Structure 1
Amino acid sequence: MEFDGGWDSRAVLVDGWVERRPRRPEVGAQLRREARLMPWLAPQLPLPVPVTGVVSDEPLIVRHRLVPGSELTEPASHHGRALGEFLRALHGVSATDAVLHGLPPQAHTRSERAADIHRFRTEVVPLLPAAHRDSARTLLDAAAELPTDTVVHGDLGPEHVLADEETLSGIIDFGDAQVGDAAIDLAWALFGTPPEFADAVARTYGVTARLRARALIWHRLGPWHEVIHGLDIDDPAVIEDGLAGVLARLC
């Protein structure tokens, strides 16, 4: 069984194991970092996560046991409390120790962020209506100043939050984990979910006004990545959908 394709790796289910192969050569280093990081990180977290290991070097194949559950489609307050507890634990992990176990350091995060913002300025802003370009540049200026001091998942959305009938059953896809801004992991949870879920996350985690403001910046940046992906694969439909999201969140 093959899972729906991610941008970075191809995943298939084999006898209860999820086997992943890089779609591009540069993704190999990311998969190897996960294989170092996750066995160390998993015991510190209150929900199941993929514990990845390398099973073949040539070709590169990593695998982990299937994390049970399915995509969270009806977020409720009890799910929000569980996610708040998970994020509080994740963000409390020592960044220094995480880097020693394979997590990309602050300098890598800053470099990647600067590269993303450069592409946003030069490739996405020109595609926006002229009346929205100043507010778009203001958003990018704010994003450039966000902190890089916390162990984060880096791509937390409904497709990576799993639930069974009653509870959250796991968090998957740590390919974008980094030493970054805690607020990035709260963007979808606070601004893309029903109020009862978002409120439960905020109360359980202890979200401050400043953290909420930073999470809103990350929420507004989400569709910019879709535009860049559409440009990279030369897909006008993806680009159009991403631009619509950029404009909707700028307002």
Structure 2
Amino acid sequence: MTAIDRYRAAILRAFPDLATSPFRLMAESWDSTAVEADGLVFKFPRHEAAAGRLRKEAALLAVIRPAVSLPVPDLVLAEGPPLFSRHVKIPGEHLLTAHYAGLPEEARRRLAEDLAGFYAELHRLDRGRMAAAGAEPEAWGTAEGIGAKALPALTPELRPAAERVLAAYDRLPPDPHGTIYGFFDGHGWNMAFDHGRQRLNGIYDFADSGLGPLHQEFIYSSFVSPDLTARLVSAYEALTGRGLDRRRIAILTGMHRLWELAELADDPEHVPTMVRSFAEWVATADRF
């Protein structure tokens, strides 16, 4: 029996009305496998930790969905076994760097404003309520600990920039806007973007959302484009009246790339990708 046959059998045990629907594998990540059938997405966790994250995501989305304007998944859990979730697919595709480069000015402005509004709504959610639903603190660890694992994996040319970021991060005072509940995963792989209409249709994958410093929310859009981050920051400031520190965001962006490298430093398959990610950031980052 193939993988898709196993997933189809599990889905049909819970939803026999889909017996005549075509099934296809959508994507596989470290945490889960996604299957699509009849406009529905089914997500299967690949290990116990991922199962816990899926349950947490469903509980968080039950609070988030009524509070935000952008569509987000309406996760329904099927206990199985195996455990999996079901939600109506939000139409749209990933927004990658090449896609963003082709967007006209108006589409870029609208995207930044839509994201800014989404973040502003999320950040108004009560932290205690989100913690009760399963939100956990974001924690990268110390600059020393991250550097110990990340620096040896970098080329000699990249190490000076990494050392500057680590030193700057180590000197950062607490976030002036404190802790919020945030998405903390706002890159283009979690966007349902309508490339025909050049509009953002929705956001998904809330497993990495949690409680953390407000400025950290604005680092992930750099995976799409630094231009998107700059527009997003300005739109958020205009909408909320909160002034944001662009230097702090730059430092956190570089640190996030180093943290990812440190997390995967013992995985030779993924280290080159993480090194390349940091190099791309260095090439586009303003001085900090």
| TM-score bin (small chain) | 0.7 to 0.9
Taking a change above 3 Å as real, the CA distance of residues 197 and 250 of structure 1, as seen in their structure-2 partners, is: closer
Give the unaligned 5+ runs of structure 1: none
Q: Which residue of 1 aligns with 2:141?
A: 114
1:17 to 40, 45, 53: 40
Question: 2: CA distance between counterparts of 1:103 and 1:213?
Answer: 27
**SS of match in other structure, 2:27:** coil
1:241 Cα shift?
A: 1.6
Alignment correspondent of 1:193: 227
Match of 2:243 among 205, 208, 214: 208
Q: Which amino acid aligns with 2:90?
A: V
Stretch moving more, 236-245 or 152-161: 236-245
- Per the TM alignment, residue 31 of structure 1 is displaced from its structure 2 partner at its CA by 0.9
**Could you say what secondary structure the match of 1:204 adopts?**
helix
Shift of 1:133: 5.2
Tell me whether 199-208 or 159-168 shows the greater mean CA deviation: 199-208
8 Å Cα contact 1:142/1:217 also seen in 2 = no
Worse overlay, 44-53 or 231-240: 231-240
1:125–1:137 Cα contact (<8 Å) kept: no
Letter in 1 for 2:128: T
Aligned residue for 1:81? 113
Distance 1:157 1:201 in 2: 16
- Range moving further from structure 2, 194-203 or 153-162: 194-203
Unaligned runs of 5+ in 2: 1-23, 101-106
Cα distance between partner residues in 2 of 1:58 and 1:119 = 39
SS, match of residue 69 in structure 1? coil
The residue aligned with 1:159 is 189
- 2:213 maps to a residue whose letter is D
Tell me what 2:180 maps to: 150
SS in 2 for 1:113: coil
1:101–1:239 distance in 2 versus 1, CA, 3 Å: closer
1:67 to partner: Cα distance: 1.4
2:83 corresponds to: 60
TM-score calculated relative to the size of structure 1: 0.82
- 1:42-81 deviations in whole A, cap 9, x for unaligned? 1100100112222125322122221122223335111211
Conserved 8 A contact 1:9-1:27: yes
In 1, Cα distance between equivalents of 2:48 and 2:87? 20
Change (3 A) 1:4 1:197: farther
Tell me by how many angstroms 1:174 deviates. 0.7
Partner of 2:6: none
1:4 aligns to what SS in structure 2?
A: strand
Q: Which amino acid aligns with 1:193?
A: D
More helix by share: 1
CA–CA distance in structure 1, aligned partners of residues 221 and 275 of structure 2: 25
2:165 pairs with 1:136? yes
Q: Is the 8 A contact 2:120 2:236 kept in 1?
A: no
- SS at 2:72's partner residue? coil
Query: Using the alignment, how far apart are the partners of 2:48 and 2:65 within structure 1?
Result: 26
1:5 matches 2:28 = yes
Counterpart secondary structure, 1:193: helix
Aligned length: 244
- Counterparts of 1:134 and 1:168, CA distance in 2: 37
1:226/1:242 contact within 8 Å kept: no
| TM-score, length basis structure 2 | 0.72
Alpha carbon RMSD of aligned pairs, Å?
A: 2.9
State the alpha-carbon separation in 2 of the partners of residues 195 and 62 from structure 1.
32
Q: What is the CA-CA distance between 1:124 and the residue it aligns to? A: 0.3
* Residue matched to 1:91: 123
Tell me, yes or no, if structure 1 residue 182 matches structure 2 residue 182.
Answer: no
Task: Write the letter of the residue equivalent to 2:279.
Answer: A
Distance in 2, matches of 1:86 and 1:189, equals: 13
